[in-house]
Structure 1
Amino acid sequence: MTRPLVWTLYAACVLVWSSTWVVIAVGLEDIAPFFGAGIRFSIAGAGLLIAAAALRRPLRTDFVLSAIVGLLPFATTYGLIYWAEQYVTSGLTSVLFGVLPLYVALLAAATLPSERLRPRLIAGVGIALGGLIVAFSESLDLGSGEHTALAALAVILSPLASAIGNVAIKKRGGKLDPLVMNGWAMLGGGLVLLAVSAPTEDWGATIWSAASIGSILYLAVFGTGFTFVTLTVLLRELPAVTVSFISMIIPFGALALGALVRDEEVTALAVGGALLVVAGIAVAQLPIRRRVPA
């Protein structure tokens, strides 16, 4: 795959995921969190498997990897995020999720020989995290609700499940059909979320409004089906930590969308924080040029 195409797909993931935090919040107004997440992933998984069958692709895959991805990134990460967004803002959620590259760096160093844990990598992640905090310091209000602190902790822990899934895909998914592997994983993760929802949430209280239905469909098709298949492709082409930096760029994508679509203000702190994030990614990722002795 050519580099321009790889970075185009990278940018597409950033753009779509930048919008999903707000769309999740919209859906939570009418749909219980685990129920909404379960429907989202079940629809996305079934859709990918139907597409694969229509394209006459074999539906066999690495079912161990599909189970890992279904239980961890899909069921655990998104179950925690959907639950947490009832108590903390979507903006705070997207910023706290920015710890993902740190988790990926530690796990990749322990399991992937090609991705060593370098001091520059840790320093770069630290700088980028600092940039996120600076950029959104004016709006990182934890709130005073009964479960806000627990919800914030859930968001901070949720990327660990995603990190395990990403590293597992990097390690085992190189030759798998991304449609089929993700299809089974999404379907399995969705069914797990629905199983958690059934005894704990009132499905009859769901309001099937245009906003809630549109939220589920958008998240299923674009925020899940497109992005996670693309993520699997990107993990074949780029280091796992490089791919994980998407989570740090997403809040700025959301900020830019807000400015373009809703005329929201972009502050000097936001610009300064964005520059720090760019600097941190550069420190972590750009190779050092060593002088060759004359």
Structure 2
Amino acid sequence: MSRAVVWSLYAACVLVWSSTWVVIAVGLEDVAPFFGAGIRFVLAGVGVLTAAVLLKRSLRTDVFLAGLIGVLPFATSYGLIYWAEQYVTSGLAAVLFGVLPLYVALLAALFLPEEPLRPRLIVGVAIALLGLVLAFGESLDLGTGEHTALAALAVILSPLASAIGNVATKKRMHGLDPLVMNGWAMVTGGVLLLAFSAPTEDWGATNWSVSSIGSIVYLAAFGTGFTFVTLTVLLRELPAVTVSFISMIIPFGALALGAVFRDETVTAVAVGGALLVVAGIAVAQLRFGRMR
């Protein structure tokens, strides 16, 4: 696959995932968190598997990997995120999720021999995290309520499940069909979320408004079906840590979308933070010793 196509897919993931945090918050106004997340992943999985059938692809895949992705990134990580966004802002959730590259870097060093933990990687991640704190620290509050601190902690821990999934995908995905593997994983994650939701949430209280239905459909089709299949392709083409930096760019994508579509102010502090994130990614990824 050409580099141009790879980086175009990378940019597409950033753009779509930048919007999903706000869309999740919109859906939570009318739909219980685990119920909404479960419907999202089941719909996405069925859609992706249907596409695989129409393309005449075998539905056989790595059962262990599909199950792992279903349980960890999909059910666990997104279950925590959906629950937490009831108590913290969507912007803060996106920022806190930005610790993902640190988790991926540590796990990749343990399980991916081709991605050792180099000092420049740690320095780069630290610089990028500083950029996130600088850009959003003064404008985001934790919100109010007895579960606010616990919700923030849940978002910080949720990327660990995603990091395990990313590293496992990088290690075991060779030769597998990304549509089929992700389809089964999405169905698995969705069913688990619905199973957890059934005894703990009141499905009858759901308000099937235009916004709630639109939120679920958008998140299923674009925020799940398109992005996670694309993520699998990116993990075949790029180092796992490079792919994980998407989570550090997403908050600034959300900021840019807010400025374009909602006339939200972009401050000098936010721009400075964005530049630090770019600098951190450059430090982590570029091999300066080989540059002329």
Partner of 1:121: 121
Once the two structures are superposed, what CA deviation does each residue of 1:46-90 show, in whole Å capped at 9, x if it has no partner? 111111111110000001000000000000000000000000000
Partner of 2:93: 93
Quote the Cα distance in structure 1 between the aligned partners of 2:120 and 2:289. Answer: 14
Partner of 1:27: 27
Partner of 1:173: 173
Whether 1:244 aligns to 2:244 is: yes
- Secondary structure at the aligned position of 2:288 is classed as coil
TM-score by length of 2: 0.99
Quote the Cα distance in structure 2 between the aligned partners of 1:289 and 1:188. Answer: 45
1:175 Cα shift? 1.2
Whether 1:288 aligns to 2:284 is: no
Quote the Cα distance in structure 2 between the aligned partners of 1:290 and 1:24. Answer: 43
For the Cα contact (< 8 Å) 2:87–2:144, is it kept in 1? no
Quote the Cα distance in structure 2 between the aligned partners of 1:24 and 1:235. Answer: 25
1:288 Cα shift? 2.2
Partner of 2:188: 188
- Superposed, 1:146-161 pairs within 5 Å as 146-161=146-161
Compute the RMSD of aligned alpha carbons.
1.0
Whether 1:112 aligns to 2:112 is: yes
- Superposed, 1:58-73 pairs within 5 Å as 58-73=58-73
Once the two structures are superposed, what CA deviation does each residue of 1:112-142 show, in whole Å capped at 9, x if it has no partner? 0000000110110000000001001222201
In structure 2, give the amino acid aligned to 1:98.
G
Partner of 1:207: 207
Once the two structures are superposed, what CA deviation does each residue of 1:178-208 show, in whole Å capped at 9, x if it has no partner? 0000000000000000000000000000000
Quote the Cα distance in structure 1 between the aligned partners of 2:224 and 2:107. Answer: 24
- Superposed, 1:39-54 pairs within 5 Å as 39-54=39-54
- Secondary structure at the aligned position of 2:139 is classed as coil
Aligned length: 292
Bigger shift: 93-102 or 282-291?
282-291
In structure 2, give the amino acid aligned to 1:117.
L
Please list every run of at least 4 consecutive aligned residues from structure 1 whose deviation after the TM superposition is greater than 2 angstroms. 288-292
1:287 Cα shift? 1.0
1:291 Cα shift? 8.6
Which runs of 5 or more residues in structure 2 are unaligned? Answer: none
TM-score by length of 1: 0.98
1:290 Cα shift? 4.7
1:12 Cα shift? 0.1
Whether 1:139 aligns to 2:151 is: no
Partner of 2:18: 18
Which runs of 5 or more residues in structure 1 are unaligned? Answer: none
Quote the Cα distance in structure 1 between the aligned partners of 2:43 and 2:246. Answer: 24
Quote the Cα distance in structure 1 between the aligned partners of 2:71 and 2:87. Answer: 23
